[in-house]
Every structure is written in structure tokens, then in C-alpha cells.
Amino acid sequence: MTPDSSGGRRSRAALREMLLETGLELLNEEGLGLGAEKITYKRVFDRINETTGVTITRGSVHDRIWSSQREYQLDLLRRAAQFDFEGGADAIGERILTLMAETDGDDLGPAAFIREACRQGSATLIDYQRTRSGWDLWLSVWTMYSLNHNRHPAEAAQISDAISESSRQVDSSMAEAIGLIASQLGVTPCRETMGDRSVPDTIEIMVRFANVLAEGTTMRRRLNPALVDGFELPTGANGDLQEWTLGGLGAWLMARFCFDLDD
């Protein structure tokens, strides 16, 4: 246990969590820049003191939780790489279940339902990302890793492991959601484009595509949201205009490519 100025004692795990969460606050406010080097012990200690009144000294953490300030910064980057992708996948799943309930009895064919699922699911994911500051930070860490992994391979490997674990979580959640839709609608892979691939193998390709599209459109959206969001297509009932995103359109085209969907 480690004492602090409030007269209480915090476990090393609790102190570690406090410093990491405070470091993430600073990264989210200021951006990643070229790394986490500007997030020093002193700056984190000062922020904790300003917001909680708790005073933490270097001796409380150095060689007790982290062997160096650099190790703390790497730990901070690993935490930033652990974005809650599952929350976004869960939000999409809830939207799809709601869509199923809303369209029950409307006699929508598989193609029409999946088209609407892609349109609404993409919009739901964008809304989720916009309300989670950690998404931009995760993408910054991912970009930094991809550009610098050859310069510091040992450090990059630690960050890569964290990114990969987060990606595996969302891949699993997305595959489960797509599999549920495919099972409920009774659709099968398109033999012309997928050959003899099974449903799980076909879904894996769709998930890979969705990840690349989501990451790419996020970068574009930062520069100019109009490039990827907010255009209308006559896909509604009787040709009514509906709002689409580039991600939703890409998902719909990929679904048509991968599965046999009769209009």
C-alpha cells in the first residue's frame, strides 16, 4: 500500500489505474503528437492534485509500479490502444434487433432488410465513435505504430499486442452479429464470388473489409465529414430518399458481393 497526502493508503493497482486514467485525459485533450513523451509523471501528478487534492510523489510510483517514466508512457499507450470496440459492436447489434422488431410483419426480403441494416448500422457506429473520445486516440496510436514500428521494434510490439487484442474483440462481436442476421434470414454465400467458402469464412472477409473501411473513413471524416457522410440515395419505400454514409454503402455493396441476395 502507498500513502498519499489525503491520509489514506492506495494499493499499487489503484494508484496505477489513477495515473493511467489521468494520463488518458491529458492525451485526449492535447492529442498524441509524436508519442506520449509529453505526458510526464509531474504533469499527471499535478493534474491529480488539481482535480482531487491528492498529492502523489515520484517515490510513490517510481520503481514501485513502473521502473521508469518511459515505461509508464508505454503503459499509457497500451491503455490508449484498448478502445472499447465491443461497445460499438453492441450498439450496432441493438440497432439491428430493434430493426428486426420494427419490420416484423412488413414482409421485407433479405436484400431489403440487409440494406437497411447496413445503412442504420453504419450510422449507429458513427454516432458511437463521435461520443467516445478514445476512438480518435486509438486511431492515433494505431497510425503512430504503423509509421514507427521499425524504429523501436520492442516497444512497438507491446503496442501492437494491445491493438491486436482490441481488434480481435470487435472482430468477434461483428462476426457474431453478421452471423445472426445470416442465420435469421437464411442467406448463403454467393457461389459465383465466394466459391466453396463457408458462412464463417465469408463473414470473416466481410469483417476485414468493414474494419478497413471504418478506419479509412474515420481519417477522411477528420479532414472533411462531407467526403464520407450525409448523402442521399433513393433506397426508401417508393424510391424515397434516405440518408447514407460511405461506410453503410460500402457494407451494403460487400454484403451483395458475398451473399446471395434476391431483390
User: By CB neighbour count within 10 A (0-12 exposed, 13-18 middle, 19+ buried), where does 183 fall?
Assistant: exposed
User: What pLDDT sits at residue 95?
Assistant: 78
Residue type, 253: L
The answer, yes or no, to whether residue 1 has pLDDT greater than 70, is no
pLDDT number for residue 233: 92
The C-alpha cell 505504430 sits at 145
What pLDDT was estimated at residue 133? Answer: 65
- The three-point CA angle 148-153-156 to 5° equals 65
pLDDT at residue 4 above 60? no
Instruction: Decide if 174 contacts 207 (C-beta within 8 A).
Output: yes
Helix (H) or strand (E) holding 120: helix 110-130
- pLDDT given for residue 151 in this prediction: 65
pLDDT confidence of residue 220: 76
Query: Of 243, 225, 246, nearest to 234 (Cα)?
Result: 243
Residues 6+ apart with CB under 8 A from 1: 9, 10, 11, 12
CA 122 to chain centre: 13
pLDDT at 257 over 70: yes
Confidence of residue 100 (pLDDT cuts 50, 70, 90): confident
Residue 189, pLDDT > 90, answer yes
Question: Which of 208, 187, 24 lies closest to 115, judged by CA?
Answer: 187
Question: Cα Rg for the chain, rounded, in angstroms?
Answer: 23
Average pLDDT value for residue range 109-123 = 86
Q: What is the mean pLDDT of residues 101-106?
A: 67
Higher per-residue pLDDT: 34 or 146: 146
pLDDT for 174 equals 79
Q: 197-231: per-residue pLDDT in tens?
A: 999 999 999 988 887 887 777 777 777 777 777 78
Greater pLDDT, 66 or 35: 66
Is 183 or 37 the better-scoring residue by pLDDT? 183
Distance separating alpha carbons of residues 203 and 169, to the nearest angstrom: 15
Amino acid at 236: G
